[in-house]
Amino acid sequence: MAFAFFALAIFLFLSLDSDYFGSSVSAVPASEGVQVTYGSVIKLMHDRTKFRLHSHDVPYGSGSGQQSVTAFPNVDDSNSYWVVKPVPDTSAKQGDTITTGTIIRLQHMKTRKWLHSHLHASPISGNLEVSCYGGDSVSDTGDFWKLEIEGKGKIWKQDQKIRLHHVDTGGYLHSHDKKYQRIAGGQQEVCGVKEKSRDNIWLAAEGVYLPISDGKAESS
């Protein structure tokens, strides 16, 4: 088991964008309470249902027609990994910790597109559609999400309850028990809603967490 996880960590790390991460960074498998840093590759788990935020190269059949985003029931799915990145034109660098109130982006590891939202209606509930959009050289403010940590902590950590608040639309990243029946059968709808609820709480779960810059951990 330990060898298998180490192999996964190395595979994920070698799959990352070398221009962004540089050549001197080593991947560190997650342990309870580890801090989430820029460049980490994580799965986001929906707190209530335990499904993971997921995407694959399948477009929505309605709305924007962009790459679909769902919540996936199985833990061991490789299409549920997301790279945590800063917004453009900031001083943030790989290995930096992330505080509550920070605006971040999430890049889907396999397709390289950004977690995105806009005013199109989501397919099942008619809330705000959440999609994947753009690529390594294409991104806009529709990819910007504000990190909101639940409780007293100020630094984002694994297994800590958070919300992601979409900057452009004001919607919270949300999932619920409403499931697709055909192409994405058994997967939950992911959408944006403007009201806070238990169904827009997520946690950083499995992944490869990059070490903190300069080896200096920040207090929570």
The pTM of this model reads: 0.86
Query: What single string gives the DSSP state of each residue in the chain?
Result: -HHHHHHHHHHHHHTS-HHHH-SS---EE--TTPBPBTT-EEEEEETTT-PEEEEEEEE-SSTT--EEEEEES-TT-GGG-EEEEEPSSSS--TT-B-BTT-EEEEEETTT-PEEEEEEEEPTTT-SEEEEEE-BTTB--GGG-EEEEESSS--B-BTT--EEEEETTT-PEEEEEEEE--STTTTPEEEEEESS--GGG-EEEEEEEEPPPGGG-PPP-
Lowest mean pLDDT among 23-32, 48-57, 60-69, 204-213: 23-32
pLDDT of residue 55: 97
Quick: pLDDT tens for 96-144: 999 999 999 999 999 999 999 999 999 999 999 999 999 999 999 999 9
